[in-house]
Amino acid sequence: MRKAQLRGYWLCLLAGVFAQTTASEAPAQSYPSKPIRLLVGFAPGGGTDVTSRLVAQKLSPELGQSVVVENRSGASGSIAAEYVARQPADGYTLLMVASTTQINAVLRAHQDLTRDFAPVSLVTTAPMVLVVHPSVPARNVKELIALVRSTPGGLSVGTDGVGGTTHLIAALFSQMAKVKLVYVPYKGAGDSTVATASGEVDMNFPSTPATLPLLRAGKYRALAVTSLKRTSALPSLPTLDESGLRGFDLGTWFGVLAPAGTPKDIIARLNAAIVKVVAIPELAAAINKQGMEAQANSPEQFAAFIRRQNAQISNVAKSAGIKLQ
């Protein structure tokens, strides 16, 4: 090949590489150029919906485009999750996923949040609260465990149905404390919370937001929270880890996912925006008012968080024989 031809060949090759690189970078550089949809798998007014709207309101000016919250409720959030997983991986359709959806995905083995999605960032975390009806004489976790062990048949615990969040947490408590509990399933967390307040069951693990009003009304007594760190909503309440159940850490959380294959530059753009707005004092205060903690992280940290939670859910369910039909 003559020198001029060789030079032409390399120029064409370099031009092709440059064109491919430019084409792949163009979407990220211009992103976002139109409104973004944030799917919520639960009905309006719930915790996931409220959190999504608070975050979307701050994300819109940060990204320079409208972030529109869209509700597609059903199947513990799985309907919205499956819809988002099928959308183009361009960053314009996102999912505000809840821990409830993760539990459903793990127990039914029909979806993997780190395989079928691109994790963007955690947004909030919230521990559940171990509460007992005022008639239960235990004043702390140690006394409760001793009471359960000395009570024939054990104490009754209200749950949000088979395979629900409170069911798994109660099962983990039973395993780690080495006690037997009588599980009483209800249609949802709200029903089980009311049952505990009325004395229909002895104990429960309601969410922090659900705990606060009934706790102030003296309807039940709080003994501990289920996270490794204390919550700002109930700062004087110890953790189960502090109370002797070392390593106990299982609660609720919300985070943002994008369809698998979304370009890393777009994920990074979204992550930077979420990290920034979650740190806004006004937003953090609004989230804390709901009994949750504002907590953003990197895509890699969020993916690792999901994998750890997957493993824990799977292990607890297997040990307790919890299965979803």
**Whether residue 39 is found in the same domain as residue 113:** yes
Which of 95-99, 107-111, 192-196, 228-232 reaches the highest mean pLDDT? 95-99
pLDDT tens-digit profile of 259-312? 999 999 999 999 999 999 999 999 999 998 888 899 999 999 999 999 999 999
Asked if the structure places residue 16 within a domain, the reply is: no
Give the residue from 225, 260, 291 where a domain finishes.
225
Same domain, 157 and 216: yes
Which pLDDT belongs to residue 266? 98
Closest to 316 (Cα-Cα) out of 254, 27, 308, 65: 308
Q: Which of 225, 259, 274 marks a domain boundary?
A: 225
The number of folded domains in the chain is: 2
Instruction: Specify the 3-state DSSP secondary structure of 187.
Output: coil
- What does the DSSP 8-state code read for residue 138? -
Residues 120 and 259 in one domain: yes
Where is 114: in which H helix or E strand? Answer: none
Angstrom distance (rounded) from CA 89 to CA 27: 11
pLDDT at 6: 47
Is 291 contained in some domain?
yes
Q: Which of 209, 225, 241 is the last residue of a domain?
A: 225
Q: Are residues 102 and 183 in the same domain?
A: no
* Residue 1, in any domain of the structure: no
In the β-sheet with 129-132, what is the strand arrangement from edge to edge? 182-185, 156-159, 203-204, 129-132, 221-225
User: Do residues 93 and 138 share a domain?
Assistant: no
In a domain, 20, yes or no: no
- 259 contacts 88 by C-beta, under 8 angstroms: yes
Residue 125 scores a pLDDT above 90: yes
Are residues 205 and 136 part of one domain?
Answer: yes
Q: Is residue 78 part of a domain?
A: yes
* CB contact at 8 A, 262 and 118: yes
Is 199 found in the same domain as 58? no
pLDDT at 255 over 80: yes
User: Rounded to whole angstroms, how far apart are CA atoms 211 and 128?
Assistant: 9
* pLDDT value of position 7: 54
In this structure, the answer to whether residues 49 and 108 fall within a common structural domain is: yes
Q: What is the mean pLDDT of residues 145-158?
A: 95
String of DSSP letters for 240-266: TTTTT-TT---EEEEEEEEETT--HHH
**Residue owning tokens 């760190």:** 229
pTM over 0.75: yes
H-type helices in the chain, by residue range?
A: 3-30, 47-63, 78-85, 99-108, 141-150, 165-177, 189-198, 208-216, 264-278, 281-289, 299-320
Q: Does residue 139 register a pLDDT over 60?
A: yes
Alpha-carbon span 47 to 215, nearest angstrom: 19
15 falls within a domain: no
Statement to judge: residues 118 and 133 lie in one domain: no
pLDDT of residue 324: 76
In this structure, what CATH number is given to the domain that contains residue 220?
3.40.190.10
DSSP letter string over 6-28? HHHHHHHHHHHHHHHHHHHHHHH
Model confidence pLDDT, tens digit, residues 16-70 = 544 454 444 445 568 999 999 999 999 998 889 999 999 999 999 999 999 999 9
If you search the block for the tokens 């004092």, which residue do you land on? 281
What's the full length of the chain, in residues? 325
Residue 215 and residue 139 in one domain: yes
What confidence category does residue 208 fall into, taking pLDDT thresholds of 50, 70 and 90? confident
- pLDDT category of residue 188 using cuts at 50, 70 and 90: confident
pLDDT at 209 over 90: no
Residue numbers of the domain that contains 154: 129-225
Q: How many CB atoms lie within 10 A of CB 260?
A: 15
Mean residue pLDDT of the chain comes to 90
**Per the structure block, which two tokens stand in for 78?**
């799985």
CATH of the domain at 46: 3.40.190.150
- Statement to judge: residues 51 and 106 lie in one domain: yes
Q: Is residue 62 domain-resident?
A: yes
Same domain, 86 and 151: no
